[in-house]
Structure formats: structure tokens, C-alpha cells
Homo-oligomer: A and B are copies of this chain.
């Protein structure tokens, strides 16, 4: 962990830079994978399962309702609790706006409509992430999406991970396909014989998955957000527990060698104590090597006061922000750029990762300046409607004509003119 002491504000931008990654070469590979999937469909997916995952699969589609999954009872209970909390938090649906009469006879409104077909990518990797399945399926179902397609890479025994399978059954998900990586993204974007084409793709993944999601946008598919390596920023004062802070930093560092963890504090002592705790706690971690590499990219920053800490955090725009200070509520009010915020010493990031109810699919790499995390809104689009009466067009028509004329769009003006003319004739007749 690099130590930075009282950095000048003009160096903040540099400190906020995430490790750069050149995706040019990788992108060419991903383009090839995508075009192979576009041409060959399911056959390509079966080939890629063999090539990339070393697994022989006969069929991509699983008959999930015919399968049986046995998982530990405690784990089953934990997943149910998480499901209930996530559903509770995500179901706070906002009402559509009422019809607004913007001018006499001109009524306008917006209507929320679920995105019909959505694709959810659940990464495999070191362990299949059933928590991501919960985080994406629950809001999709609450939004009312008609077709929810799930793709996840095959496990070495050629089948679905039992916890993923069990959770799919719990949630009533049936369209589950054994394919991962860039090829899974291509399959959902273009459709294959077995996998339906979707309108929007969600979910995290490695650099191949991320590049594929970026590329398929040109083919008319929306994506949840651009994803980068996971990150946490912890603001802590001398009241914070070094043990808790170190554990929180490590819980992020173990994600991947490219994860970033940042500690910002106004207390030299706290920073020193956290560093000592890190050395102790990292020893016990099964993913120690990964966490150590992540810490190399990471930094602790000593600032003059907590307001400066919040300013720095707002410049950094972290995916996760833990505020472990005495006055966390007051500081919380000043946050303008962050994905998800954890206030106070008992609010650890793992709570939001799994079970407190908030979503864990969040903007990384500074995208929190402009993006929100996944929510029910992500599975909905809003259509505007308007209905104009005779009186409405008579009142508003001349303004429209004037503006269309000034933009030199005579056809736009004419669409109003023919209507006003008709109304004039109508009045004459009456």
C-alpha cells in the first residue's frame, strides 16, 4: 500500500486514476469470438466450452426444473433471508407521474414498461456467484420482465454449480444456459437456436466479458454499465476500529489482483494501526496472493480533516464507500459521487454484497460520477405519451409553427398548419 501524506489538491486527479489496462489486443479476440457466435450459434458455444472451459457439453440449455440440487440447509436459509431483504429494498417502486396538462388541451404523461427480454450473466471463475444471481433476478422479476435469460459458464463436472441451480429453482428461473465469457454475451446479443436474443445484458465478468458487452452495444443491445475491477474507499477517523477497517480493505482486495482499495484518514495513528492489522489478517486468507497484489496498487492517504476526506472521495467516486467515523451521518450528507455507501462501524461492505438488501452491481472506475447501481429502474424504460385536443392544437399550434419555421423545417410547420386549417374550415361550417 502506497502511503501519501497531505497530498496537494492539484495532485488528486492523478491519485484518483485507476490502473490503466490496454484492451486493444483483447478486443480483436473478442470480435472474433462474437462473429463466430453470430455465424455458428449453439455449435460455437459448445466448441468454446471445450476450448476455454475444458468441458464437453452436449446441450447449452438446461432443463432446470427436472434437475435436483442439494445444498446445505444453513446456506439455503441464508439465501432466503438475502432474497427477502433484496426484494424488500428493490420493490420500493416509484409511481408513474400523473397526467400533466402542460397547456390547455395538451395532456402529457410517462408510463413505466418493463424491458421484455433481459439477459443476466453470472460469472463462474473461482466460485460461481449465486449472490449476483439474486441481485439481478430479483429486480428483473419485480420489474415484470417477460423473458429472463441466465448464462453461466459450465463447471468442470460439465454441469451447473448446485448453489446456482438451487437458487434458480428458488427464484423460479427456467431459461438457464451453460456458456460463459465473451461467447455468452454474443449469444444473448444475437440469439442462437437455444438462447433467445435479449434487449439488455446485465452482470459482471472478466475483461473479455466487459469488452464483449461494450462491443455488442453497436448491435442494438443495451448494457447495465461499463464494468471495471472492484474497489472500495474507506474514510476512517481515530474512532474507527483498525481491525474492522483492515478486514474491510481485505474483503475488497481478495476480489482480484486488479482490485483497488483506498484508505483516507485524518489520523496518522489509525493509518499505522490499520497497516499492522493488514499484515496480521492477510496471513490467514486463502486468497492471500491475490490480496497482496491488489494492495500493491492501493494507497493510504493522510488528509488534514474529514471534509477534505469527503472531497477526495467525491473526486475518486468509489464503487463502495465505507464511512467509519464518529459523525458518519453528517459526512454522509456531503457525498455526491459513490456507488453504495456504508455508514458507521457496523456497516461492512460484505453486508451489501450479500444480504442487507441493496444491490451489489455498482459503477466502478469513477463511473459513479454519472451512473447509478442496478435497481428496478434498470429493468424498466419509460415511454412518454401525449394527447392533444382540438383546443390544444389551436392554442399551441402557432408557437410550434413559429419555432419550426425558425429551424427551417417547413414540413414540421406544415403538420400543424393542415390541422389549424381544418379547424378553421370546421368553425366556418358550424
Complex contact A399–B341 (CB within 8 A): no
Collect the chain B residues with CB atoms within 8 Å of residue A389's CB.
346
A241 to B81: give the CA distance in the assembly, Å: 58
Question: Once the chains are docked, how many angstroms separate the CA of A129 from the CA of B404?
Answer: 10
Taking the complex as formed, is A136 at the interface, i.e. its CB lies under 8 A from any CB of chain B? no
**Known A254-B411, A422-B241: A365·B127 in contact at CB below 8 Å:** no
Contact with B along A238-250 (1 / 0, CB 8 A): 0001011001101
- The answer to whether A127 and B349 touch across the interface, beta carbons within 8 angstroms, is no
Are B103's CB and A81's CB within 8 A?
Answer: yes
Please state if B341 and A388 are interface contacts (CB–CB under 8 Å). no
Interface residues on A, range: 35 or more
Q: Per-residue 0/1 for A350-362: is the Cβ within 8 Å of any B Cβ (1 yes, 0 no)?
A: 1111111111000
Q: Which residue of B lies closest to A322 (CB)?
A: B415
Are the C-beta atoms of A371 and B222 separated by less than 8 Å?
A: yes
Q: A176 an interface residue at 8 Å Cβ cutoff?
A: no
In the assembled complex, the Cα of A290 lies from the Cα of B93 at a distance in Å of 45
Q: Assess A78 versus B414: contact at CB under 8 Å? Given A351-B388, A384-B340.
A: no
Instruction: For the complex formed, measure the closest distance between the CB of A134 and the CB atoms of chain B, giving whole angstroms.
Output: 9
List A residues 260-295 near B (Cβ within 8 Å).
281, 284-287, 291
- Chain A, range 397-429, C-beta contacts under 8 Å to B: 398-400, 402-404, 406-419, 422
Within 8 A of B (CB), among A313-355: 328-329, 332, 335-355
> Which residues of chain A in 77-118 are interfacial with respect to chain B, using CB atoms and an 8 Å cutoff?
77-79, 81-82, 84-85, 88-89, 92, 94-95, 97-98, 100, 102-103, 106, 108, 110, 113, 115-116
Indicate if A48 sits at the interface (CB-CB under 8 A).
no
Cα distance A329–B409 in the bound complex, in angstroms:
29
Taking CB atoms, residues of chain B closer than 8 Å to A338 are: 383
A200 on the B face (CB < 8 A): yes
Bound CA span A399–B79, Å: 8
Q: Provide the A124-165 mask, 1 if CB < 8 A to any CB of B, else 0.
A: 001111110000000000000000000000000000000100
Which residues on B sit within 8 Å (CB–CB) of A217? 214, 226
B-facing residues in A351-387 (Cβ within 8 Å): 351-359, 365-373, 375, 377, 381-387
A241-B422, A285-B411, A410-B287 given as contacts; is B385 within 8 A of A351 (CB)? Answer: no
Cβ-defined partner of A399 (8 Å) among B102, B110, B355: B355
Residues in B neighbouring A79, C-beta threshold 8 A: 403
Binding site for B on A (CB under 8 A): 72, 74-75, 77-79, 81-82, 84-85, 88-89, 92, 94-95, 97-98, 100, 102-103, 106, 108, 110, 113, 115-116, 126-131, 163, 199-200, 214, 217-218, 220-222, 226, 241, 243-244, 247-248, 250-255, 281, 284-287, 291, 328-329, 332, 335-359, 365-373, 375, 377, 381-390, 392-393, 396, 398-400, 402-404, 406-419, 422
| A-B residue pairs, 7 tightest by C-beta | A102-B357, A78-B399, A254-B411, A222-B370, A78-B402, A85-B102, A92-B97
14 A-B residue pairings within 8 Å (CB atoms):
A75-B402, A92-B100, A108-B356, A110-B375, A116-B369, A130-B406, A254-B411, A291-B411, A340-B383, A341-B383, A342-B387, A350-B400, A353-B400, A368-B381
